[in-house]
């Protein structure tokens, strides 16, 4: 079994949902040598997350952001962890809800995503720095 692992840094993104499929694929060209396997992508942060969803219509990303902000609002009186600003605690909650990793099958050296699927960075902070991902491809 082949196993390749790399850590990459994404450029800083504004708050929102950002398609990063191409950046992930470009970071691990060795994936082309795997006929059957998996690609795991893990984000090393507690205020951003990853998801797989529709990559064709940008309004899906806008609706995700709007819904997450309604579901987990800022400035709630019971938040104690606010030292980094009003988006601090909500960002941690959103990251826990969305998740810190995604797994995608690899088939014949390519990600076996659905026609309309892509990998997204879910940036929950207003002014985030670069985000680090650990990408692991494994299989035969």
Q: What is the pLDDT along the chain (140 residues), one digit of tens a residue?
A: 999 999 999 999 999 999 999 999 999 999 999 999 999 999 999 999 999 999 999 999 999 999 999 999 999 999 999 999 999 999 999 999 999 999 999 999 999 999 999 999 999 999 899 999 999 999 99
Q: Which domains does the chain have, with CATH numbers?
A: 2-74+83-139 (2.60.120.460)
Q: pTM here?
A: 0.96
Count the neighbouring beta carbons within 10 Å of the beta carbon of residue 133. 23
Burial of 121 (0-12, 13-18, 19+ CB in 10 A): buried
DSSP 92: H
Structure-token pair, residue 95: 């990251």
**Order of strands across the sheet with 101-107?**
2-10, 131-139, 36-43, 101-107, 110-111
């Amino acid at each position: 079994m082949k196993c390749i692992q790399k850590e990459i840094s994404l450029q800083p993104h504004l708050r929102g949902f950002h398609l990063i499929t191409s950046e992930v694929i470009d970071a691990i060209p060795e994936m082309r040598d795997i006929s059957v396997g998996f690609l795991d992508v893990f984000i090393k942060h507690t205020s951003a997350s990853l998801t797989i969803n529709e990559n064709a219509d940008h309004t899906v990303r806008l609706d995700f952001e709007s819904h997450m902000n309604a579901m987990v609002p800022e400035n709630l009186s019971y938040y104690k962890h606010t030292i980094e600003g009003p988006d601090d605690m909500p960002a941690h909650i959103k990251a826990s809800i969305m998740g810190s990793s995604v797994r995608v099958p690899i088939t014949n050296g390519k990600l076996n995503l659905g026609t309309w699927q892509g990998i997204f960075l879910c940036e929950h902070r207003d002014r985030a720095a670069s985000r680090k991902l650990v990408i692991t491809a494994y299989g035969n």
